[in-house]
Amino acid sequence: MWSAGIAWDRAGYTVACVRSDGTAGPGARFGADEVARIAAHVRTVCGPGATVVVDSTNGLLDGPLRVFGLTVLRADPWDLPARPSDGSVTAAELAACALACPGRLVATDDDAGTLSGRVAELEAHAERSAETAADLAGQGRYLLRGDGGGAGRGRRIALTFDDGPTAPYTDRVLDILRDHGVPGTFFCVGLHAAASPGTVARIAAEGHGIGNHTWSHPFLPDLSRDDLLFQLDATNAALEAVTGVRPGHLRTPYGSRTPDTLRWTAEHGMTTVLWDTDTQDWAAPGAEQIVANARQQARDGSIVLMHDGGGDRSQTVAALPVLIGGLLDDGYRLVTVDELVGA
């Protein structure tokens, strides 16, 4: 039996394949935009039913790899040796973990993604963070929704897109926004932004907002302060290198937070921006349901959560023009998050 470990670092991914008898297969390096090649390598070396192991600081690969028929397990910090702030443990250590910890690693799924088995923990951390979030909201450092247009300015909504830039979905989303003459806000993953600077440049050139969605899409409660600051600074550097502007907004993966991570983010001069309207497009419920989810929840000042990466986003692309038309017909004006909060 073969297992494959996939490690991340500043440059992309390393894949290592290990057999149950300790035999190592050929390792390989891949860029952040080469998920199909990663899947092909694993299937060639390990077989089409291979088990892949990622860790809780990598929330970018499980969905796309499951599309290729691979079983993706998540290793949590207590299953692994210590890791650096700017990467995971090695790919070989991740592959070996599948063999050393049978039954302990969690299988990811389409319902909760990389967070499978830890949703209750996510909710508990959010509840514990409520007082800190309220304090930071009063300082303008935490946001679930904007104040809306107010009298005489009309109702306003911000459409936001997470997990990209990712081909071909980000460009398709940009085409739709351009054709309708409306802006969006893209919360970009650093690994993806560094691999697709041309798309980042297009986002900026066409007048859309750009925010920080961390470097590797980690579950924030697993991070130390140094870990979090790497995620923020590396992503901001990748985006600023293209746009000339340092993002001031952070969209946390899964909406995860703790009192500490909220404070560390604010102390670093950034504002945590979540959402009040979840289209649930990440669950691929169908284009019609994505539109319905948005329109049922949206109100003046809403921040709408959608995705242009992290898996097959063809349903999001199909839903978007219908949603934009519906919101405009309802009298909303679509704005960036910066416009919504008056930045």
Q: Which residues are tagged catalytic? A: 162, 307
Which residues on adjacent β-strands are paired with residue 271? 249
Q: Which of 236, 283, 238, 243 is nearest to 32 (CA)?
A: 238
Scan for tokens 């405009």, then name that residue. Answer: 328
- DSSP element (H, E) containing 183: none
Which residues in 29-54 are b (16+ Cβ under 10 Å) and which e?
ebebbbbeebbebbbebbeeebbbbb
Q: Which of 39, 79, 86, 36 is nearest to 218 (CA)?
A: 86
Distance between CA atoms of 98 and 102, rounded to whole angstroms? 6
Query: Do you find a cis peptide bond into 168, omega within 30 degrees of 0?
Result: yes
